[in-house]
Amino acid sequence: MAGLADSGSNPDVDLLYDINGLAKDAPAWFDRVMEYVGEYGLLLAIVLLVVGCWWSVRRRGDEDAASTVAALVWAPLAAGIAVLVNVPIRGFVERPRPFLDHQGLEVLVQGKTDYSFVSDHATIVMALAVGLFVANRKFGLVGLVLALFGGFIRVYMGVHYPTDVVGGFALGTAVALLLSPLAMALLTPVVKAVERSPRAGWLVRRRGRAEGEDTVIPEARSERASERDLAA
């Protein structure tokens, strides 16, 4: 490939051409799918994972439901903070998109004019995945796999260098983990207050679980049935 000759001994550029070269060899319909998945699909999938984890926690109604929900609230907040942190990083580094400096790339998304380092997409999906992992290991592992795949797709699409993605992963992970103790200290009391609320408590625990209805009501029904049998 001509692009490889232009890249010299830079492994970042070499890997960019190797991964993006897969897009050149793939059918057009597959590239369209990868474009949608890379731009919207994986981010939506991880958001749905967070919602699904919340629904599972709420249904189970475990004693630590409040702390788990607090961690789930932290996941999107961590992603937002990480993106804000990335604003000055991008302005300081000022790295152009790879297709502006290197010829022969298959660019699946047009109109990208902002700086390349650090990848916002990689930052967001990894911050969400790590925040989800803090809340629930099973859901979090799925989220981490999706985030890694999302980073691969950004390079496949020709809009980021591999190091842009790695930098995004590092930034998202750092924000989600390093600020997690402070975030949990602030969010957990708030979520516990919501849990005690007569109107909003269902957001944290299913009402029957929170009030012990799952155990009390069946016993009450059994006692009433016994009384009817004795009366008969």
Distance set, CA 189 to CA 60, 71, 199 (Å): 20, 12, 17
Please state, in angstroms and rounded to a whole number, the distance separating the CA atoms of residues 17 and 174.
28
Q: What pTM was estimated for this model as a whole?
A: 0.81
Q: Average pLDDT for residues 88-110, to the nearest whole number?
A: 89
The answer, yes or no, to whether residue 73 has pLDDT greater than 70, is: yes
Please state, in angstroms and rounded to a whole number, the distance separating the CA atoms of residues 62 and 59.
9
pLDDT in tens, 158-216: 999 999 999 999 999 999 999 999 999 999 998 888 888 788 777 777 765 444 444 33
pLDDT in tens, 18-38: 998 898 888 989 989 999 998
Residues in the chain: 232
Q: Average pLDDT for residues 47-54, to the nearest whole number?
A: 92
Please state, in angstroms and rounded to a whole number, the distance separating the CA atoms of residues 13 and 19.
10
The answer, yes or no, to whether residue 6 has pLDDT greater than 50, is: no
Residue 149 has a pLDDT of: 94
The answer, yes or no, to whether residue 8 has pLDDT greater than 90, is: no
Where along the chain do its domains lie? 2-231
| More confident position, 165 or 4 | 165
Residue 228 has a pLDDT of: 52
Report which of 226, 135, 145, 231 is spatially closest to residue 188, judged by C-alpha positions: 135
Q: Which residues contact 228 (CB under 8 A, 6 or more apart)?
A: none
Fold of 2-231: Vanadium-containing Chloroperoxidase; domain 1 (1.20.144)
Mean pLDDT is lowest, of 65-79, 118-132, 150-164, 213-227, for: 213-227
Token pair listed for 73: 């609230």
Residue 213 has a pLDDT of: 43
pLDDT in tens, 105-130: 888 888 788 899 999 999 999 999 99
Please state, in angstroms and rounded to a whole number, the distance separating the CA atoms of residues 176 and 186.
14
| More confident position, 89 or 196 | 89
Helix (H) or strand (E) segment spanning residue 66? helix 65-93
